[in-house]
Amino acid sequence: MTDLISQLRNIVGDKGLLLGDDISSRSGGFWQGGPLQAKALVRPQTTQQVAEVLKLCQQQQQTVVTQGGCTSLVDSHHSSADNIVLSTERMTAIEAIDTANRTATVQAGVILEQLQQSACEQQLSFPVDFGARGSCTIGGMMATNAGGNSVLRYGMMREQVLGLEAVLMDGTIISSMTPYLKNNTGYDLKQLFIGSEGTLGIITRAVLRLRPQPLSSQTALVATDDFTQVSQLLGYLDQQFNGGLSAYEVMWQDFYALNTGEHSHNKPPMPADYNYYVLLEYQGNNPASDAQHFEKILGEAFEAELIVDAVIAKSDAERIALWEIRDDAETEKTKFGCFLHTFDVSLAIGDMPLLIEQLHKQLEQAFQHYELLVFGHLADGNLHLCIWEEGMQRKSEVENIVYQEIAKLQGSISAEHGIGLEKREHLHHSRSPAEIALMWTVKKAMDPNNLLNPGKTLPAQK
Amino acid sequence: MTDLISQLRNIVGDKGLLLGDDISSRSGGFWQGGPLQAKALVRPQTTQQVAEVLKLCQQQQQTVVTQGGCTSLVDSHHSSADNIVLSTERMTAIEAIDTANRTATVQAGVILEQLQQSACEQQLSFPVDFGARGSCTIGGMMATNAGGNSVLRYGMMREQVLGLEAVLMDGTIISSMTPYLKNNTGYDLKQLFIGSEGTLGIITRAVLRLRPQPLSSQTALVATDDFTQVSQLLGYLDQQFNGGLSAYEVMWQDFYALNTGEHSHNKPPMPADYNYYVLLEYQGNNPASDAQHFEKILGEAFEAELIVDAVIAKSDAERIALWEIRDDAETEKTKFGCFLHTFDVSLAIGDMPLLIEQLHKQLEQAFQHYELLVFGHLADGNLHLCIWEEGMQRKSEVENIVYQEIAKLQGSISAEHGIGLEKREHLHHSRSPAEIALMWTVKKAMDPNNLLNPGKTLPAQK
């Protein structure tokens, strides 16, 4: 142990190594609580240092957990006292913004918001965005294939990565830092590292695709009576807006009623008795006429009976107020006195009404009192479910109900949050034994001693 | 051998098995010429049959080459007399077009054009498109991660695949037929099969993303004096057209001059003495005003001195005529009496002028007479190079020159065509020993006896 620590210090220097109180004074994370635990926390500054750390740990059969911004909702960054934690917090260089090629070359520890700002200064945009933008890292976003609010238009994190550099557990550097959209030279190795939650290698750098800044943005909240309208409206708007539809967030009635009701700070922009509410956003290319075009298309949707009510944001303040209804997680806490059991699932859009109907049936049978609040990135097939049951002590029962109904509809138990520690024993609801066996085949080929983020993502083998 | 054949017949039936003349009456392919060679050609109809065929072949250590439409430009479908060929030609079902979810569920043998038509009938679009649309299969397109003309807007084949089913060499069926955009449940196994040219498994089915049909389309040919304009114009138009820019095809002067000159059937829409020509297309959302908007934006580009000449297509016939200049491969044959040495490379856009300059230097040194014609999907970083040298007998010298210059600029020796048999011994120009070693690690984990499409994609191990 002393030997390992001193060798780690030789690689990363005094400033690169934290021990004892410097570790335990950090938080163990939102879900786990308590102090961070680790044998040592190393903070390399270069890919070469990461490689030397991993090579050393491999020699000593030492497990390693990588940490970025530690904003995972499934504890994929969780560590225990026998792990070395490798943090990318000193790998924060934005190495280049190439305006001709429209790419950014970054180290893994760059914070999302910093990249967004750097792109913006060059009249470009990095379009992946979500609430944790001020603390999540680009490396963590790649390792977890992060999603968020603009997937409909721009895709997940995976679609933004042109090139990537990662280090294998034996210290081998896999450098595939190619800055172009097309590269069919053998296996696309970067895909192995994206979304594998640090279990196959540690991502150290990347070349990311940047996009033009949108020229104008239009936002509206619309209501519909039935789900067929919700689904038809999506198809209609996506065609009319020609790929410019950048958000299609749906709230079921209970969710909207709660977040605009007596417990909330939000003013209701329309009555709370419609069945579905859609928050939609269109990024246009013609500032002079986009607002008019937007209004015209929504008017036609109204005449075609695809919507029954609509409110268009006329200012930035109104736009923000509409989004606050959708993003509000405080009102549920005010009403119920706690955060609810939450789920992040995917399924075919047409199956969504059936899922919700079945969940109500099951929850009714299992609990005397319950609430089911539904909202989500509907266009991506992604719903978030919030469930309250009296006492809030029966989490695993609720999980079983949700995951079993999801499994019946060939849905996904994790749309965008990942598996991590939290969901690994539920993975079988979405993945077959053959799929899980193949995941283990890949894991064993790339990390034969199971030293990289052990116990995450893949369920224990029987 | 007789035993193997009869067991194969038991699995796929009489109609599913071809032998002898029924094999040799087929072509061995565009590049190889001669008759197709194989021990037997099996034509399964279901995933289950594919699984049984592979399990049997694994037991007998029998190599298997998968064939779709056989349109590979790098001979990834090449077979020899000791292979079993597995053809997907009887797996042609479009199982479902889901208009609510905007997905298509297909078997691997579906022809691209058929899928495009089926989507179109439902007012939807499958946007990947290229010349071989009438014969290439969806399975082959996935196995090779096909590209084409609309990658700038819609991405490569990889970005269209939501779910996928494949069979491993031991007969295990990996069914990940999920129909939604977001699914972070462990490793994204479909990425292993996409682009691996049938060396890791055989793709049998898929769920593909469909898009709205564009409402209007505008096409123009513009000219610029220098390369900085080409690159700045791309950034400008991509912003103004808000993701609606669907083609940005650039032709260097020599290429344009040839294809509109005395040997060609194309009428020159503008003089042939500009340095660069850009064929660009914008898919808009406002048929009433898109033409006017398009003209206005090009006018502004002219005033900003980003372009020096422009011709806008005013009819479908004019649009087709512009594309024929870009797509014309016959004129080079008329002039030079043969097809030229062709290359499909990627590199950072800003490096392109340097590449072309270096190639001219090298070719000048090596050959008394040569021609270098350049065009390509510039926005994707993808150039196609056509090189003529007197005699056309020194292919490998030309290859060495091109690949060495590409390697110096960290370019890709295959942007969209793949590696196959043709380029595998050149892979080292674009991929490091560490990357190639990791490819072999994955290959050995998934196909330990190297039975699936052996000799393709990966260079021989030393």
Residues B299, B237 contacting (CB under 8 angstroms)? no
Residue B367 contacts residue B429 (beta carbons within 8 Å): no
Using the 3D structure, point to which of B33, B67, B87 is the last residue of a domain: B87
- Domain with residue B282: its CATH number is 3.30.70.2190
pLDDT value at residue B1:
58
Please tell me the distance from the alpha carbon of residue B223 to that of residue B273, in angstroms, as a whole number: 10
Q: Average the pLDDT over A109-131 and give the result.
A: 97
**pLDDT at residue B32 tops 80:** no
Tell me, yes or no, whether A456 lies in a domain.
no
Q: Do A182 and B416 touch (CB under 8 A)?
A: yes
- B59-105 tens-digit pLDDT: 999 999 999 999 999 999 999 999 999 999 999 999 999 999 999 99
Q: What is the pLDDT of residues B201-218, one digit of tens each?
A: 999 999 999 999 998 999
Do B66 and B140 have their domain in common? no
CA distance B212 to chain A (A): 5
> Does residue B33 surpass a pLDDT of 80?
no
Give the pLDDT mean for A349-360: 97
Query: Cβ separation of A177 and B348 shorter than 8 Å?
Result: no
Are residues B118 and B191 both part of a single domain?
A: yes
H or E stretch at B176: strand B173-176
B258 lies in the same domain as B193: no
Q: Is the per-residue pLDDT at A220 higher than 80? A: yes
Both A196 and A130 in one domain: the answer is yes
pLDDT above 70: percentage of residues in chain A? 99
Q: Would you state the pLDDT for residue B149?
A: 85
Q: Is residue B437 part of a domain?
A: no
- A412 vs B103, B185, B412: nearest CB: B185
Contact B155 A155 (CB under 8 A): yes
Pairing of strands B173-176, B161-167: antiparallel
Across the range B133-157, mean pLDDT stands at 96
**Residue A398 confidence class, pLDDT cut points 50, 70, 90:** very high
Task: Of A47, A54, A86, give the one whose Cα is nearest residue A205.
Answer: A47
Based on the fold, state whether residues B135 and B193 are members of the same structural domain: yes
Whether A444 maps to a domain, the answer reads no
Q: Is residue B242 part of a domain?
A: yes
Number of domains chain B contains: 4
Q: How far apart are CA B245 and CA B237, in angstroms?
A: 7
pLDDT-derived band at B224, boundaries 50, 70, 90: very high
What's the mean pLDDT when you consider all of chain B? 96
Exposure b/e, B21-37, CB count within 10 A at least 16 = b = eebbebebbeebeeebb
Question: Confidence class of residue A26 from pLDDT cuts 50, 70 and 90?
Answer: very high
Same domain for A309 and A228: yes
Indicate which CATH number applies to the domain containing B408.
3.30.70.2740
Are B436 and A102 in contact (CB < 8 Å)? Answer: no
| Same domain assignment for residues B378 and B315 | no
pLDDT in tens, B341-365: 999 999 999 999 999 999 999 999 9
The alpha helices in A367-418, defined as continuous H runs, are 395-408
- For A288-311, what is each residue's pLDDT tens digit? 889 999 999 999 999 999 999 999
- DSSP SS3 for B206: strand
Question: What was the pLDDT predicted at B10?
Answer: 98
Domain boundary at B160, B185, B212, which?
B212
Same domain, A80 and A102: no
Instruction: Tell me the residue ranges of DSSP E strands in B276-320.
Output: 276-284, 309-312
Between the CA of residue B90 and those of B27, B67, B95, what are the distances in Å? Answer: 18, 11, 14
Q: Which residues contact A439 (CB under 8 A, 6 or more apart)?
A: A431, A457, A458, B186, B187, B189
Task: Quote the CA–CA distance of B62 and B39 in Å, as a whole number.
Answer: 10
Q: Is the pLDDT of residue B275 over 90?
A: yes
Contact of B414 with A161, CB cutoff 8 Å: no
Query: How high is the pLDDT of residue B34?
Result: 87
Distance in angstroms (rounded) separating the CA atoms of residues B401 and B426: 12
Cα–Cα distance for residue pair B215/B283, rounded to 1 Å: 7
- The answer to whether the CB atoms of B181 and A156 lie below 8 A apart is yes
A427 in any annotated domain:
no
- Contacting residues of B for A186, CB less than 8 Å apart: 419, 427, 431, 435-436, 439, 457-458
Per-residue pLDDT at A258? 96
Distance from CA of B57 to the nearest CA of A (A): 20
Q: In this predicted structure, what is the pLDDT of residue A461?
A: 84
Q: Give the range of the structural domain holding residue B71, as residue numbers without chain letter.
A: 2-87
> Is B286 inside any structural domain?
yes
Kindly state whether residues B81 and B141 are assigned to the same domain. no
Task: Output the pLDDT for position A405.
Answer: 98
Whether residue B196 and residue A187 make contact (CB cut-off 8 A), yes or no, is: yes
Chain B CB contacts of A156 under 8 Å are 181-182
Q: Which of B195, B212, B229 lies at the terminal end of a domain, its last residue?
A: B212
Whole-angstrom distance, CA of residue A438 vs CA of residue B44: 24
Are A295 and A193 in the same domain?
no
Residue A32 has pLDDT above 80, yes or no: no
Would you place residue A1 in the very low, low, confident or very high pLDDT band (cuts 50, 70, 90)?
low
Q: Is B14 exposed, middle or buried (0-12, 13-18, 19+ CB in 10 A)?
A: exposed
pLDDT tens, residue by residue, B230-252: 999 999 999 999 889 999 999 99
CATH number of the domain to which B6 belongs:
3.30.43.10
CATH number at residue A200: 3.30.465.10
CA distance A192 to chain B (A): 8
| Model confidence at A2: pLDDT above 90 | no
Claim to verify: residue A269 and residue A197 sit in the same structural domain: no
Q: Residue A19: pLDDT above 70? A: yes
Residue A446 C-alpha, separation from nearest chain B C-alpha, in angstroms:
7
Q: Do A181 and B151 touch (CB under 8 A)?
A: yes
Residue B285 confidence (pLDDT)? 83
Residue B462 lies in a domain: no
Domain assignment of residue A319, yes or no: yes
Q: Is the pLDDT of residue A33 over 80?
A: no
Do A310 and A221 fall into the same domain?
A: yes
Q: What is the pLDDT of residues A163-206, one digit of tens each?
A: 999 999 999 999 999 999 999 999 999 999 999 999 999 999 99
pLDDT digits (tens, 9 = 90+) for B43-64: 999 999 999 999 999 999 999 9
Mutate to test the interface with B, among A164, A183, A217, A218 (most CBs of B within 10 A): A183
